[in-house]
């Protein structure tokens, strides 16, 4: 991932970039690996926090190009990725700015606390989606991350 990681945006700058990106016209297809962004303390805290809430070894997301996406997890001693925690996927109005974004929501049967979270994405480049994750009732506290298409584990 070249340009986005090279600029090393802060948490706040990442949100500004997200808000400046064009609205999507379609839902992506393919496997996308997480790219952690922000200062080192934020990346460390994010990884630690995710491990506490059913997301240890989170690798990324797989988009089907339709109304369903799924999270991918790496497995010890295996190249195969484990699929867990499907999400409803749609292009809908962002709670951050009212413009369209690719929105992923977890079902009520997802483990705690994921049924309270929303992920939104916009295209940063043809292979990079810039995302934000937030509690449904606190979109102003959206935390950034990116996913890159076609990377291997």
Domain boundaries, the chain: 3-148
- Please determine, looking at this structure, whether the domain spanning 3-148 carries the CATH number 2.40.128.580: yes
Where are the strands (E) in the chain, listed by range? 29-35, 58-64, 68-75, 78-93, 100-106, 117-125, 128-135, 143-149
pTM, whole model, 2 decimals?
0.90
Q: Does residue 10 contact residue 16 with C-beta atoms inside 8 Å? A: no
pLDDT for the residue numbered 95: 96
pLDDT for the residue numbered 1: 41
Per DSSP, 55 falls in state -
pLDDT for the residue numbered 51: 83
């Amino acid at each position: 991932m070249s340009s986005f990681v090279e600029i090393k945006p802060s948490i706040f700058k990442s949100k500004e970039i997200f808000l400046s990106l064009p609205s999507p016209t379609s839902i992506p297809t393919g496997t996308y690996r997480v790219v952690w962004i922000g200062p080192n303390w934020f990346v460390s805290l994010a990884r630690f926090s995710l491990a506490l809430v059913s997301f240890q070894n989170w690798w990324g997301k797989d988009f089907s190009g339709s109304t369903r996406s799924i999270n991918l997890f790496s497995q010890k001693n295996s190249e195969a990725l484990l699929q867990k925690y499907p999400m409803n996927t749609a292009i809908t109005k962002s709670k951050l700015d009212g413009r369209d974004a690719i929105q992923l929501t977890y079902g009520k049967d997802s483990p705690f606390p994921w049924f309270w979270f929303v992920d939104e994405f916009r295209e940063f480049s043809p292979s990079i989606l810039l995302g934000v994750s937030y509690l449904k009732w606190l979109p102003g506290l959206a935390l950034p991350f990116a996913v890159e298409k076609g990377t291997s584990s």
